[in-house]
Structure 1
Amino acid sequence: MRISEVIRRKGDRVVTVSRGASVADLIEMLVEHRIGAAVVIDASGAVEGIVSERDVVLALRHAGPATREVTVGEIMTADVMTCVPEDDTETLARTMTEKRVRHLPVVVDGRLAGIVSIGDIVKQRLDELQLERDELVSYVQR
């Protein structure tokens, strides 16, 4: 299965933030949308970074409550691992697990086109396994 299928099923809506936003604004955004990460994009829609709950927690550990005044650009992960719609979900599941990455922006022609989480990948795989199971049961019952 390809990432394009995951995006087709879940939609291509991505919550984004600018690098100049405050961490306080980021926290509100994450809570409002009930998500674990936001993609940092520039004015052209190119991915500049990703910022997650983990980044906020690490910043809190170092700066304490003053973290809320820090900008997203100061705590984001700038070396972002991305994928393309043609990527295989099984390969990405392995990569995400090995690299301990929970969110991957999907990029097409240098621009953000979606995002997939490890949960999206697991759900896709479970759906595939259920379909295979149903087909095998159907075959055996003939």
Structure 2
Amino acid sequence: MRLKNGNWVVVCDAGKYVVYENQGDTDRLDLRVISFDENTNPPTHQQGSDRPGRLSSPDGQNASVGDTDWHAQEETRFISMLARQMDGWAKGEPSRRFVLIADPKSMGTLRQSLNDHTLSRIDHSVTGDHAHRPVEAVEALINGA
């Protein structure tokens, strides 16, 4: 795929994102980091210590309630926060275009969380877990797509 100068590449998973801007041209990529964040999200068993709740039914039987998956909730919150940021970036710069690179679960959460205006600015999407790869690998991925 060819990226114009000024296009942004958002690479993320449920715990990290990196946003690059192409400072090259359509023939030669030159991705530069403009924003990043990494979320510390321990497993659920380290976040909650309470046992599952119990409910009583009218016939006197007790039933357990499933555990809350605090880890999954934090992953969703992190991706939703990134979506809000992307919405702001799209609104702030009328000509801004995006390329999304994310693992399948994060891609789904991100697409559901973005507003229609931002979704219309996405030129390409690549599904795969590339958030922890170096910039050279991301450039090679884009050049190969």
- TM-score w.r.t. length of structure 1: 0.24
Structure with the bigger percentage of strand = 2
- TM-score w.r.t. length of structure 2: 0.24
Structure with the bigger percentage of helix = 1
Structure label with greater radius of gyration:
2
